[in-house]
Amino acid sequence: MLPDPNDELQAYAEAHTSPETDLLRQLNRETHVQVLAPRMLSGQLQGRLLSMISHMVRPRRVLELGTFTGYSALCLAEGLLPEGELHTVEQNPEQEDRIRRYVAAASLTGRVHLHIGDAAAVVATLAEHAWDLVFIDADKINNALYYELVLPQVRPGGFLLIDNVLWSGKALPSYPLKAADKDAHAVRAFNDMVQQDARVENVFLPLRDGLLLVRKR
């Protein structure tokens, strides 16, 4: 049987992308061994892209919705200005100890602020911040809600990244969706909404499960 070209492409892309740091590799491994649904972790390829974008933007303020085990937060923090800070929101309190442990191991305590709770409620408490870079990777059915909450807080020229906008291919018009597949319907509607939003410019990146790059005008 011939190899899956998608698997080969992924392996080739990873082989020609800068490697993870030792700490990120450790977190990657720990997540896969100890945590349910480890596929939710960004991983090397997407993590290096998040780091690259952060280095390009050189943000003072970063917001992340959906920390999971902290991998993407550590990647996004790599490009922070010396006085910069990152706020990250995770709804699952069981991840708190692991996240704080890795933030400390990365010497980012005091610069990475973890909030445990509902993402929409936490964002409302951070309204005084002007974000340079936002990464939305929480529950997909609320993508539009999070987007509308944070966009007014993003500075003009600032960026948003929204993950899983392919939703395992179900976002594609040719995929026969069932009425019960609420997440997929929400992802499709969100993608169309951003495409029609005159407040922003956007690029759809078919990386892993899809990443939408948005710049506020």
pLDDT for 155-198, tens place per residue? 999 999 999 999 999 999 999 998 889 999 999 999 999 999 99
Answer whether 155's CB lies under 8 Å from 132's CB: yes
Residue 44's alpha-carbon distances to 5, 15, 20, 209, in angstroms, are 19, 10, 6, 14
Looking at domain 5-216, its CATH architecture is 3-Layer(aba) Sandwich (3.40)
Indicate the burial class of 116 (C-beta count within 10 angstroms; 0-12, 13-18, 19 or more). Answer: middle
Tens-place pLDDT, residues 30-72: 999 999 999 999 999 999 999 999 999 999 999 999 999 999 9
Residue extents of the structural domains in the chain = 5-216
Q: Which of 146, 147, 164, 148 is nearest to 206 (CA)?
A: 164
